[in-house]
Structure 1
Amino acid sequence: MSDPVLSLRGVSKRFGGVRALVDVDADVHEHEVLAVVGDNGAGKSTLAGVLAGAHRPDIGQVLLDGRPVVLGSPAAARALGIAAVFQELALVDDLDVVENLFLGHETRRGPLLDEVAMEREAWRLLDQLAASVPTVREPVRTLSGGQRQVVAVARALLGSPRVVVLDEPTASLGVRQTAEVLNLIVRLRERGHAVVLVSHQAGDLQAVADRILVLRLGRVHDVFDGDASYEDLLAAMTGAVRPGAKQSGTKPAGAQRTGTEQAGPDRAARR
């Protein structure tokens, strides 16, 4: 496996007396979906916030191509090629798709907005994602949940980031819309992005993940390959012991060691 694009080493984060992350190590590679799963309060959103520049670690390092970087803000993270899409999406319902994509980053020709160039770029991004948006000139309030998620991801892809962080992208979506978003994640991997997919829905992760990192109480409890069973993931998330499983510290079947020992063959290559 190639060297990781983005790494966390010994990252810890507190909010008052709450330890949200404790000594977290993680790696994500190009052409890979690293899924992060855990129960409520496990530290998933805090981890996404650290990668996106929304939270600065109290202890530890963030490495980009093996070099320490400071993600002091979302803008700093974007400048380094790390884009994030959070659960709230931050779309403006009354603006159309083009206006949402370029809000705050409008293309100009002299003193005027270059509407033609922005519309052309909007269609280019959506076509790359195989999006089924009927038109880029409709207000986003008319779009389905899955289509809104696609618009938010397309906006994140402006500037061609290397790492895309998706925080709970399938939350509150129906079956069909969830399938659209999962297909979108596969396309991001095929385009070469390193994808960090944060979710509490283990079943969704299994469909697209190359590796699955399980957080529990702010710590990395296990790292599984993408073929791990739902039962093993659930046991790792909750701390339960599966019937017949040994309690001597042996990791569940399919699990892998945390830290610098990472998964074997790239799952994308097996497809």
Structure 2
Amino acid sequence: MTYAVGMRLNRGLVFMSDTRTNAGVDNVSTFNKMFNWTVEGDRSITLLSAGNLATTQATISLLEERTKAPEDRSPSILEAPTMFQVAQLVAATLNDVIEGHSRAGQQADSAFHATLILGGQIKGGPSRLFLIYPEGNFIEAGEDTPFFQIGETKYGRPILVRAFDPDMSFSETVKLLLVSFDSTIKANLSVGAPLDLLLYEEDSLTAGTRSRFEPDDQYFRTISEGWGDALKVALSKLPAYEA
């Protein structure tokens, strides 16, 4: 299982994903689920993945190969003129990979599904954020839906719904996301650190600032313990139930 979040702020885009994959309690591994393509001064594109690992790796590999192949290749996300067209390319690639499994004789094709969060900015347009489904369709974030989650979403969603503000600073947003991830990690052992973070400043057209929170990261531990203590204090201040 995976947990990943993409957020659209007034200041730019924020992405966070865990790195845990597992095929049973005795087979736990760490894999990168955050990918970025950047042409300095022209575009920055970030992709988060959740779902079948073979499907997501094949999709990423195809997207990467198409940025390097000869002129007779398939369209590249580094040449698409808008983020909407990038979303179309990524969605079609994901759908092709899933259908390829089916044509190869796989029976339970739902087991090979994957979901993606795509965000970025191309020169001349604003930053945009999309949620791409395995069927090859997608939706875009807006004022009413300013963030997307994929994977194990239910445990970390309440704090995002209650506390998200598009005017938040990057610092405040990272704090909010760490609380969301901490809640998910505590509730589901299939989600875990290291946690990857990418901060993209609007109109910078750079790769953004990327960092990683290891399992023993002191700031992450401080947030986790502080949030737990704060919940206990808040609960104690609520009015008592009288039978």
Q: TM-score under structure 1 normalisation?
A: 0.25
- With the length of structure 2 as denominator, give the TM-score of the two structures: 0.27
